[in-house]
Structures are given as C-alpha cells and as structure tokens.
Amino acid sequence: MFQKYKSYQFARPEKSRALVLAIYFLLLQALGSVVLGFWSSAESNVDATAVNVAGRQRMLSQRLAKCLLELDRLHQDKGGSKLLQEELNLTYDLFDQTLVNFSNNTVVDRGENTLTLEIAKSEKARMLINRAYGLWSPIQVALRPILDRPESYSVAELDHATAIVMRDSLPLLTVMNDLTNVIEDAAHKKTEMFNFVQGLASLLMLVNFAFVLYFFKRQLNQLTESKSVLRRIMENVATAIIVIDDAGNIESGNRAAEYMFGYEAGKLAGMNMKELFSEPAYPIVGRRRSGERFSLDISLADIPEMKRPLSIMSLQDISAQKTQEEKLSHLAYHDALTGLPNRLLFIDRLEQTLARAHRHNELFAVLYIDLDGFKPVNDLMGHATGDLLLQSVASRLSDCLREG
C-alpha cells in the first residue's frame, strides 16, 4: 500500500504527500475519538459517584440528629440504646471519612476504589467543604464522649451533643446540598464539554475524510486501482462510514459500519438507509440486523465533483454515553434505595404544580404518608430489613399509581 503512494509521488509529489498526511491524520483522529470516549465514560463515572456520595452526606447529617434524639428518649432501654449507639457510630464514621475524602479531592465508589475528584478542587467547592468542616468540628467535639464512652456518658453530655447537632444540622445539610449542586453543575458542564469536543472531532474527521476523498477523486482518473485503494483506507478507519446516493441507497460501507449494524462483508451495499434506522426521531436510533436498537450520532457531507450526487456518512454509536448520562441524571434526582424521586425532584415538581395552580386558579393537595411502627423494625430487625420494607412500600405505591 505504501509502495503505491511512493510510485505516485513521482508524478504528483505534493498531492501524494498531502494525501498520506491526511490519511495518517484521519487515523489519529479515529484513535483520539476512541480515547475521548473512554475518558468521557471514566469522568462520568467519577461525577456520578460524587453526586451520589454528596447526596448521602445530607442523609447522614439528618440521621445523626435522629440517633441522638432517639438516644435521649431511650437511654434507659439498654437493648434499644445499643442498637442506636451502633447506628450513631456508623453514621459518624461514614460522614467523617467522606468529608475527609472530599477535602483530599477524592471519592470512594461502591467497589471501594478511590477516585480523584477534580471538581472538589474548584474555589467554590473548597469554600463549601471548609464551611462543612467548620460546622462539623463542634459536632465532633460534642459527640466524642458518647462515642468513646457508650456505657458511661452522662445525660448532660447527651443533652449537650443533641443541642449542638440540632443547632448545626440544618446549616450542615444546607452546605452539603450546595456542594451537591456544585458537583452536579460541574458534571453537567463537563458532559457538555465532552459532547462539544466529540462533535467537533467528528466534524474534523468528516472534513478530513472529505479531503482524502477529494484527492482520491482526482487520482481515480490516473490510477486503475484507485477503487481498491479507497476501500483499504475506509477499512482502516475505526469510524463507521457509509456512502449513499441522493435516494438513500447505500453505495458502500466499511467494516466498522458492517460490524456496527451486524451484517456480513459486502451486505450493506444495495440496501437503503431506511432499513438501518428506526422511525425518524431525535436522537437518531439505529437498528441492527438482530433487531437491537441503539443511539447514533451522524455527520453527513456531500462528495464534490462526482458525476452523480453522493454523500458520505460518518456514524458513531453513542449508546454508552446516553446510558451514562441517564444514569447520572437518575442518581441526581432519585433515591438510591427505593428508586423514587428524591427531595430535589419533589421540590421541582411541587414548584411547577404551584405555578400551574396559581396560573389557572386551581387547588391541589399534597398527600403525606407515614409508616407506623417503622422504627421498631429498624431497631429490632436491623437496617437491612428496614431497607427491604422501604423498598416493598415503594414498590406497592408505584403499583397503585400511574407512571406520571
């Protein structure tokens, strides 16, 4: 293949040299696109973990207050106090370790892997983390006697710790909520940046490929084997490429395109693009031979100076990216245990309902449901059983209501 380029350089050295450089650049772009995809996926995983952990901190700050109030009420009940003491210790350790991780610009995922959290290095995030430490320090001091001497702390020490936690719990909750929002906003901006870079890379790849085709078109009049040369270049490009006419009939497709849609070599030629796509929609949905559907990013450009109208289509499977974005969005607005909308989504929907009711002069109701006897389940049977109960109740509620 390189010998063919070399022999042609004697006739048109400038054009052949530009063509070889364009091909190398195209291959580098394809490699860069793959690397960018992996990088985007890894960053999205870190951001999703950070959003989930920051949201958990808010829950833990509330749980501290709940444990102390229950200890104050049940300190005479040795069995109940022991369970609450264990819960208090676990909640304290988890909140403290997570705050230390945020301070060190790290976050730990479910696999206990320590991930670097670049978002935590921002000025706003550092300010919120320092503020959280300022609120957490008095709570640590107040809780030490209860944590260090679970069998011998005094009622006065318990009352003092409860007062400190009740005083600082809401400000701490607010700070962690603000930190969650900062991480969330930074994650969305990062996702938008990756989408922009990937779109720009696809556009540059398409322009570069059109540049390659332009030179090949000029060489087709002089080289008898130009068609095989063009085919080899297409096959060496990792991006799926399809050439179509103005009616959408496929002239050719490279191996990457055949692999993407699940067809054997040469089977795409002669098909129509309607056979590869689902009904017109955005984002564009491709259809493999097996019937599986997947999200697509498509760039299209005309091939100039051809005897009949032809276009070149560059396709990229973005299913993994869409799934990661949906996962990130779901983690931010849904409870991890029950899968139900969390406080952020509830407040958003409530504000929308308030605005709609005000606009149309209507009334609406908010139904508050409490679980009687839930606390004894947690105390006597453990939090794992309590979690199962919450999941069961959430499932039953979901079965009783419309999806909307």
354 confidence band (pLDDT: 50, 70, 90): very high
Give the tens place of pLDDT for each residue, 195-252.
777 777 777 777 777 777 777 676 665 555 555 655 666 666 667 788 888 778 887 8
SS3 state at 107: strand
Report d(CA 266, CA 255) in Å as an integer. Answer: 9
Neighbours of 199 (CB within 10 A): 13
More confident of the two residues 16 and 121: 121
Angle at 32 between CA 29 and CA 33, to 5 degrees: 85
User: How large is the average pLDDT for residues 298-307?
Assistant: 71
Report d(CA 177, CA 58) in Å as an integer. Answer: 7
Nearest to 277 by CA among 250, 245, 237, 309: 250
User: How large is the average pLDDT for residues 253-280?
Assistant: 79
120 DSSP assignment: G
Distances (CA, A) of 204 to 18, 27, 197, 218: 16, 12, 10, 21
Question: For the residues of 306-361, what is the DSSP string, one character each?
Answer: -SS-EEEEEEEE-HHHHHHHHHHHHHHHB-TTT-SB-HHHHHHHHHHHHHHHHHHT
pLDDT of residue 231: 63
Give the end-to-end CA distance of the chain in Å, rounded to a whole number.
60
pTM for the full predicted model = 0.40
pLDDT of residue 186: 77
Report d(CA 197, CA 210) in Å as an integer. Answer: 20
Distances (CA, A) of 41 to 182, 299, 389: 20, 22, 34
pLDDT of residue 16: 63
Integer-rounded Cα Rg, in Å, for the chain is: 30
Report d(CA 157, CA 160) in Å as an integer. Answer: 5
Neighbours of 90 (CB within 10 A): 14
Angle at 112 between CA 118 and CA 104, to 5 degrees: 35
User: Hey, what long-range contacts does 288-294 have (CB within 8 A, 24 or more apart)?
Assistant: 288/260, 288/261, 288/262, 289/261, 289/262, 289/263, 290/262, 292/262, 294/319
- Which residues have CB under 8 Å from 15's CB, separation 6+? 215, 218, 219
pLDDT of residue 233: 64
pLDDT of residue 363: 92
Beta-bridged to residue 114, according to DSSP, are 108
- What are the phi and psi torsion angles at 252 (to 5°)? -165, 160
Report helix angle 374-381 to 383-400, nearest 10: 140
pLDDT of residue 358: 92
CA atoms within a 13 Å half-sphere pointing along the CA-CB vector of 125: 24
Listed in order, strand segments (DSSP E) in 223-332 are 240-245, 250-253, 284-287, 293-302, 310-317
Distances (CA, A) of 123 to 63, 101, 119, 240: 29, 17, 9, 42
Report helix angle 155-220 to 123-148, nearest 10: 150
More confident of the two residues 88 and 117: 88
23 confidence band (pLDDT: 50, 70, 90): confident
Percent share of the chain, pLDDT over 90: 3
Nearest to 124 by CA among 194, 47, 44, 185: 185
At residue 80, does pLDDT exceed 60?
Answer: no
- What are the phi and psi torsion angles at 301 (to 5°)? -145, 145
Report d(CA 181, CA 5) in Å as an integer. Answer: 56
Give the tens place of pLDDT for each residue, 106-156.
777 666 777 777 776 778 888 888 888 888 888 888 888 888 887 777 888
pLDDT of residue 4: 33
pLDDT of residue 11: 39
User: Left if phi > 0, otherwise alpha if psi is -120 to 50, otherwise beta: which for 160?
Assistant: alpha
